[in-house]
Amino acid sequence: MRDTVGVVTPSDIHRIGAAAGCVLIVASPSCTDRYPTGHLTRLAAHTTQDAIAAIERRRPAVVVIDWDFAAVDKLAICRVAAIFPTITVMASMASAGDAPAAIKAGCQAILLEPIAPQLAMMRIARLSQAAPARGTGATGAESATYRLWSQISCPSCEVCGVASFELAKRRTLWFACLRCDHVWTARP
């Protein structure tokens, strides 16, 4: 993925669709296999430049970013993916405390580690089939796997309007305040 990528203009965006069945995994080389894609075509990027080039050239249906992978600029990758309305971005992370930053950056889905391979594969497959809901991250509408709750207030800053995410992990519902970045859990 080292060759030159052409510049995409706003007028190009409307006629460009996502590559059906294509998933981009942005992770260290040793972690790429943690994200099985089943029958979907897997692309891997281990640098910011390679990830951006793959997004611009291949327009994958889903971009999975290992949020703990320090070698890439996650915000830059999310900004480029946001140009293409057919791309869904999922962040995978070890700490739920990183979820507010990922949601604010434009990720439509959060997957907390450790990840069961079957869960990762099912989540990626589901996201590849669904058109992403576009919002503005911090204030936008509901998205692929997180939901904004206007009537729930943050126990830390007491402001209403929090995001819930990741019900599947230990049957716990996680909440994140997008104002103060406080994260907490509740049982459904």
Q: Write down the mean pLDDT value for the chain.
A: 81
* Residue 140 confidence class, pLDDT cut points 50, 70, 90: very low
Structure tokens at 137: 């991250």
Residues 43, 163: Cα–Cα separation, whole Å = 30
Fold of 15-137: Rossmann fold (3.40.50)
* Residue 171 confidence class, pLDDT cut points 50, 70, 90: low
Distances (CA, A) of 64 to 14, 15, 60, 150, 172: 23, 24, 10, 28, 22
Report domain extents, the chain.
Answer: 15-137
pTM: 0.80
Residues 62, 96: Cα–Cα separation, whole Å = 21
Structure tokens at 100: 């507010």
Residues 177, 154: Cα–Cα separation, whole Å = 6
